């Protein structure tokens, strides 16, 4: 069955506490949702703020191939004639072919507004009729429908009748407070389905953590229009998550939404919009999160190597994600073998060497290292197992100072390294002690290994491991690197944040040199000239 998809990331999603999009962001997201195959993209409320008015003005230049851009607003104010209501006028001025309006379905709200039940029905019918007379496709959002139905079902149903008789194309039931549990919601949806023909929709919030389940329950009762937000963004605890609902409808229930060819773009779309929101994509997010198909336990990893379906309910590629096997103190030999294959090194370590590597991993994890997020450190350990005793340089000493001056500060680092030809020293300044050490380390090595200039630091994170010890606590530093071809992370642990950072810096450089010895003849020659133990 075809399920019509209605995305409200640009309206309801922006009501989330940490979510804020510029007009340019919203235009780009609308285009991305169109490429994903979403049927309706609700762009905002043009009568509520200048940003949304500007969005709809500029959105006329968008080249949407599939999605219908939708403007959102309310029924007319009780004191206004519909043709004179500024909110309704803004909906028309937005220039969209579709408008979505909400009205009161809960008698409690009508009383708060000082509107009689009959007066409320008139607000709904007159607004829908007016918009239909102006050629609009109208989605009617029955606000607080489920709460209203539980206290006064007759009134709640009459609001739907008023909208439908006035010509509404979709009647969408909203669990606005997000407090309705799935069983009760399904019962109410079934009763509404028996009473109303046409397109019925569902709009759920996640305050009881069942927004996705509630959306699916409504679909199973015959509803064919579903509203959501990308990555579950939205007010309070968020809205139903677009990614989870689409994947479940397509892969679990056999319905048609965006189609299997577009489903493979789901993970990249989720990451793209998370980046524009400047929010991390939740690692544990179903289907699209980095951990959705990650395997840590040794038994799990061993089984996945033989048959991925043993611990994966769908193929990660169907939603554009990928399988990951993690290495940690919970790892078994299967985890190690998987990672070695991933790096193309599986045939180069003996069974005994793999066993020793596993024991070393468990020991460093016990000391506070975390190799799940630091695959570069794991890869370095593999290279060290392949080339025991190979040393590109030894650290003689390093020193870093930070001096305050005026309203700013300046950090200076002095680094001394020993290679086979003697001591190499460098002094460098930087934006903070870690940056100064990074620059100093590179200056020391630049004459020996010019390719190191291609490696750059792209991210830096510090995690306190022993919070009860305060500023004396052990910390874990995770540093991300790129050489313009690939990215990797290395980790350092110490009760001194500078030392932890330095260890992560040094390991990243050593890893790149290990790789380069097999890729670049000039580096291999440098190894012969300057390394021990080759």
Mean pLDDT of 36-48: 95
Residue 147 and residue 159: Cα distance in Å, rounded? 14
> Residue 330: its pLDDT value, please?
44
Average pLDDT over residues 78-87: 94
Could you say which of 366, 386, 406 is where a domain stops? 366
* Angle at 17 (CA atoms; ends 13, 23), nearest 5 degrees: 50
Is residue 339 predicted with pLDDT exceeding 70? no
Same domain for 302 and 451, yes or no, is: no
**257 pLDDT higher than 60:** yes
Q: Residue 432: count other Cβ atoms within 10 Å of its Cβ.
A: 15
Q: Most confidently modeled of 274-283, 291-300, 309-318, 344-353?
A: 274-283
Query: Angle at which helices 521-530 and 497-519 pack, to 10 degrees?
Result: 120
Q: Which pLDDT score, from 0 to 100, does residue 291 have?
A: 79
**Euclidean distance between CA atoms 524 and 520, whole angstroms:** 6
Residue 335 has pLDDT above 70, yes or no: no
pLDDT digits (tens, 9 = 90+) for 419-450: 877 889 999 999 899 999 999 998 988 888 88
Domain end marker among 252, 277, 302: 277
- Cβ contacts of residue 419 below 8 Å, gap of 6+? 392, 393, 394, 448, 530, 531
Model pLDDT for residues 123-138, shown as the tens digit of each residue? 999 999 999 999 999 9
The CA-based angle 35-10-242, given to 5 degrees, is: 60
Give the tokens for residue 503.
Answer: 């260890």
Inside any domain, residue 385: no
- In the three-class reduction of DSSP (H, G, I as helix; E, B as strand; rest coil), residue 408 is classed as strand
Residues 216 and 344 in one domain: no
Measured distance between the N- and C-terminal CA atoms of the chain, rounded to whole angstroms: 65
> Is 388 within a domain?
no
Q: Residue 265 — pLDDT band, cuts 50, 70, 90? A: very high
β-pairing, 475-482 with 456-464? antiparallel
pLDDT at 209 (0 to 100): 97
Any idea what the CATH number is for the domain that residue 170 is in?
3.20.20.70
Beta strand 394-405 with 408-419: parallel, antiparallel or unpaired? antiparallel
Would strands 137-143 and 199-204 be described as parallel, antiparallel, or unpaired? unpaired
Question: Which tens digits make up the pLDDT trace of 464-490?
Answer: 877 777 777 888 888 888 877 777 788
The answer to whether residues 476 and 518 belong to one domain is yes
Lowest mean pLDDT among 102-116, 121-135, 299-313: 299-313
Instruction: Calculate mean pLDDT across residues 328-346.
Output: 54
Distance CA 508, CA 518 (A): 17
pLDDT at 533: 45
**Can you give the pLDDT at residue 325?**
62
So what's the pLDDT on residue 532? 45
Q: Domain for residue 142, yes or no?
A: yes
Residues 6+ apart with CB under 8 A from 249: 3, 216, 219, 226, 255, 257
Supply φ then ψ for residue 104, to 5 degrees. -80, 130
pLDDT tens string 506-534: 888 888 888 777 665 554 454 555 454 44
Dump pLDDT digits (tens) for 343-362: 565 656 667 766 766 676 66
Q: Is the pLDDT of residue 459 over 90?
A: no
**pLDDT at 247 (0 to 100):** 97
In this predicted structure, what is the pLDDT of residue 337? 57
320 & 446 share domain = no
- Between CA 82 and CA 335 the distance in angstroms is 66
Between 529 and 383, residue with greater pLDDT: 383
How far is the CA of 280 from the CAs of 267, 273, 276, 508, 527, in angstroms?
Answer: 13, 10, 10, 24, 40
Q: Can you state the angle between helices 153-165 and 117-133, rounded to 10 degrees?
A: 20
Yes or no: say if 20 and 273 are a contact pair by the CB < 8 Å rule: no
Does 304 score more than 80 pLDDT?
no
Is 111 in the same domain as 197?
yes
Instruction: Kindly report which listed range (11-25, 264-278, 316-330) carries the lowest average pLDDT score.
Output: 316-330
Q: Do 236 and 332 belong together in one domain?
A: no
Same domain, 35 and 107: yes
**Domain end point (choices 246, 277, 308):** 277
β-strand pairing of 98-104 with 475-482: unpaired
The answer to whether residue 15 sits within a structural domain is yes
At 471 the pLDDT is 76
Domain assignment present for 159: yes
Residue 368's pLDDT band, with cuts at 50, 70 and 90, is: low
DSSP 82-142: GGG-HHHHHHHHTT-SEEEEEEE--HHHHHHTT--HHHHHHHHHHHHHHHHHTT-EEEEEE
Question: Are 403 and 437 members of one domain?
Answer: yes
In a domain, 373, yes or no: no
Q: Does the pLDDT at position 122 exceed 90?
A: yes
Residue given tokens 């370590």 in the structure block: 349
Looking at the structure, tell me whether residues 173 and 28 fall in a common domain: yes
What's the mean pLDDT when you consider all of the chain?
A: 86
- What is the residue range of 147's domain? 4-277
- pLDDT for the residue 192: 98
Give the per-residue pLDDT at 422.
84
The reply to whether 106 falls in a domain is: yes
CA–CA dist 156, 20 (Å, integer) = 33
Pair 403, 467 in one domain: yes
* Distance (Å) of CA 90 to CA 53, 69, 124: 8, 15, 17
Looking at the fold, whether 197 and 82 belong to one and the same domain comes out as: yes
pLDDT at 373: 57
Asked if 302 and 269 sit in the same domain, the reply is: no
Q: Helix (H, G, I), strand (E, B), or coil: what is residue 212?
A: helix
**pLDDT tens-digit readout, 190-231:** 999 999 999 999 999 999 999 999 999 999 999 999 999 999
Task: Look at the pTM and tell me if it is higher than 0.85.
Answer: no
- In the chain, the largest separation of any two C-alpha atoms, in whole Å, equals 93
Count the domains in the chain.
3
Range with top average pLDDT, 22-31, 305-314, 331-340, 515-524: 22-31
- Across 33-39, average pLDDT: 97
pLDDT on residue 260: 92
CATH number at residue 434: 3.30.160.270
Q: Is residue 371 part of a domain?
A: no
């Amino acid at each position: 069955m075809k399920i019509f998809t209605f995305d409200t990331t640009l309206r309801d999603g922006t009501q989330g506490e940490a979510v804020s999009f510029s007009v340019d962001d919203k235009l780009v997201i609308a285009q991305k949702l169109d490429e994903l195959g979403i049927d309706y993209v609700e762009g905002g409320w043009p009568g509520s703020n200048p940003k949304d008015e500007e969005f709809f003005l500029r959105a006329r230049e968008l080249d949407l191939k599939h999605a219908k851009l939708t403007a959102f607003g309310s029924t007319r104010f009780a004191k206004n004639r519909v043709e004179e209501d500024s909110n309704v006028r803004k909906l028309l001025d937005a220039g969209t072919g579709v408008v979505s309006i909400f009205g009161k379905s809960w008698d409690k709200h009508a009383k708060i507004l000082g509107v009689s039940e009959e007066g409320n029905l008139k607000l709904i019918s007159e607004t829908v009729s007016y918009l239909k007379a102006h050629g609009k496709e109208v989605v009617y959002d029955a606000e607080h429908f489920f709460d209203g139905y539980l206290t006064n079902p007759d009134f709640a149903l009459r609001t739907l009748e008023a909208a439908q008789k006035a010509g509404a194309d979709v009647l969408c039931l909203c669990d606005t407070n997000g407090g309705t549990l799935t069983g009760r919601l399904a019962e109410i949806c079934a009763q509404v389905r028996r009473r109303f023909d046409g397109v019925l929709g569902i709009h759920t919030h996640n305050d009881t953590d069942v927004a996705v389940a509630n959306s699916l329950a409504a679909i199973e009762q015959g509803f064919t229009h579903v509203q959501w937000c990308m990555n579950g963004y939205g007010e309070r605890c968020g809205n139903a998550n677009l990614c989870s609902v689409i994947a479940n409808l397509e892969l679990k229930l056999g319905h048609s939404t965006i189609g299997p060819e577009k489903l493979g773009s789901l993970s990249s779309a989720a990451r793209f919009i998370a980046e524009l929101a400047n929010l991390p994509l939740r690692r544990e997010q179903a289907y699209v999160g980095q951990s959705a198909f990650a395997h840590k336990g040794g038994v799990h990893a061993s089984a996945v190597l033989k048959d991925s379906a043993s611990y994966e309910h769908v193929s990660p590629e169907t939603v554009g994600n990928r399988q990951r096997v993690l290495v940690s103190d919970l790892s078994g030999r299967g985890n190690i073998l998987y990672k070695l294959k991933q790096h193309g090194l599986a045939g180069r370590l003996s069974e005994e060497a793999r066993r020793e590597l596993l024991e070393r991993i468990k020991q460093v994890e016990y000391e506070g290292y975390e190799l799940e997020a630091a695959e570069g450190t794991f890869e370095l350990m593999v290279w060290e197992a392949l080339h025991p005793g190979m040393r590109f340089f030894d650290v003689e000493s390093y020193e870093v100072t930070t001096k305050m001056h005026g309203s700013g500060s300046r950090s200076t680092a002095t680094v001394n390294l020993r290679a086979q030809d003697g001591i190499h020293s460098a002094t460098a300044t930087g934006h903070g002690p870690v940056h100064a050490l990074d620059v100093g380390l590179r200056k020391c090595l630049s004459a020996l290994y010019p390719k190191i200039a291609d490696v750059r630091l792209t991210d830096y994170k510090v995690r306190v491991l022993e919070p009860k010890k305060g500023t004396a606590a052990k910390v874990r530093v995770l540093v991300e690197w790129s050489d313009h071809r690939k990215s990797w992370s290395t980790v350092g642990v110490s009760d001194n944040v500078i030392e932890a950072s330095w260890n992560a810096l040094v390991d990243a450089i050593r890893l790149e040199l290990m790789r380069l010895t097999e890729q670049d003849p000039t580096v291999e020659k440098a190894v012969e000239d300057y390394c021990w133990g080759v």
